[in-house]
Amino acid sequence: MSHKLIAPSLLAADFANLQRDIELINTSEADWFHIDIMDGVFVPNISFGMPVLKAITAHAKKFIDVHLMIVDPDRYIKEFADLGADMLTVHYEACTHLHRSLQSIKQHGMQAGVALNPHTNIELLRDCISDIDMVCLMSVNPGFGGQHFIERTYEKVKQLKALITAENATTKIEIDGGVTNKNAKQLVDVGADVLVAGSYIFKAEHPLDTIVDLKKMINT
C-alpha cells in the first residue's frame, strides 16, 4: 500500500503570520503545501496572487501543490512553473481543451492535476486519465475554506478509483474540502491518496500534533 499524504491548505493559514505558518508546515509531518489561487470569477472569492505565491515558495521546503480556481488557466502556466509549483491543478470546468492544458503543464516541468467540482461527473475524465497525475475531487463547493464535507464524495472516490484501475493509470486521488479526523480514514479506505486539510489543521490548538494524528490515522 502506498504512503498516504497530507497537504495543509494555506488558505486557512493566518495571513498576517504567513511565514510562521509556512515554517510550521516545514517542520511538521505534512507532505505537501496546498495553495489555492482564486480569481473572483471562476469562484466567488479572491485568494493569493503571484507575488504572495512567490513569497510562499521562497520559504516552503516541501512539494508545492497549486490549485488554480481561475478562468482561462492556460495564460498562466509558464508563470506558475517559474514560481516553483511542483503540481499544477486546473479545473475541468475551466478548460475548453483539457488535453492541451495538461500537455502544456507537463512541458513546463510540472505534474498535471485536474480538479472536479462536486457536481461534475468523473466519467468526463476517462479519455485523458492516463495524462493526469492527480485528480482533485472537491468535497465542498470551491471558493471558501471551512465548509462542510459533501457525503457523496465517498461514492465519487470509488468511481474514480475504478476508472483509474480500468484504464491502467497511475493517477493519484486528492480530496479537497472539509477533511477532518471524522472522514480521513474512510476517504483513504475508498481510494484517496492525498488529503487537503485547512481549517482542521490551522484552527487546531496544536497543529503539529493534529498533523501527526491524521498521518497515523491514514497510514495504518
- Spell out the alpha helix ranges (H) of 41-129: 50-59, 77-82, 98-107
Longest CA span, the chain: 46
- Residue 147, classified by CB atoms within 10 Å of its CB into exposed (0-12), middle (13-18) or buried (19+), is middle
Q: How far apart are CA 89 and CA 65, in angstroms?
A: 8
Q: Catalytic site residues? A: 36, 176
Alpha-helical runs (H) found in the chain = 18-27, 50-59, 77-82, 98-107, 153-166, 184-189, 199-202, 207-218
> In this structure, are strands 5-8 and 32-38 parallel, antiparallel, or unpaired?
unpaired
Burial 184-210 (b: 16+ CB within 10 A, else e): bbebbebbbbbbbbbbbbbebeebeeb
- Contact indicator for 112, 133 with CB cutoff of 8 Å: yes
Strand-pair category, 194-197 with 172-176: parallel
